[in-house]
Amino acid sequence: QKEVEQNSGPLSVPEGAIASLNCTYSDRGSQSFFWYRQYSGKSPELIMFIYSNGDKEDGRFTAQLNKASQYVSLLIRDSQPSDSATYLCAVNSANFGNEKLTFGTGTRLTIIP
């Protein structure tokens, strides 16, 4: 059973601080990793993907991947109230071309003004 685990939260972070979201996965063969943001009542929107060990930065967002520890995280710098949402971690296992994603249950993030 391939699993993706996230702390469900809620995670409360003061405005302007760094929000740190974590995700672990069970399948060592996992190849690519995605972070999606989902506002209440809306569909998920892609924030970023990562498939190499290390950090990947895009604006205020940084994804970190450690395949040895089977761990992927998302850092949000200078958190804004508009960042309040549920963040979904998703993992694509096995080989590229196996396109099905396994989603975590999501972490609910609240940015406190």
Residues in touch with other proteins (CB under 8 A): 32, 34, 36, 41-46, 49, 51, 88, 90, 92, 96-101, 103-106
Beta carbon of residue 86, minimum distance to other proteins (angstroms, whole number): 9
Beta carbon of residue 32, minimum distance to other proteins (angstroms, whole number): 6
Rounded distance, CA 29 to CA 43, Å? 28
Q: How many CA atoms lie within 13 A of 37 on its CB side?
A: 14
8 or 80: CB nearest other proteins: 8
Beta carbon of residue 49, minimum distance to other proteins (angstroms, whole number): 6
Rounded distance, CA 28 to CA 70, Å? 7
Q: Rounded to a whole number, what is the distance in angstroms from the first to the last CA of the chain?
A: 40
Beta carbon of residue 76, minimum distance to other proteins (angstroms, whole number): 20
Of 22, 107, 108, nearest to 70 by C-alpha is 22
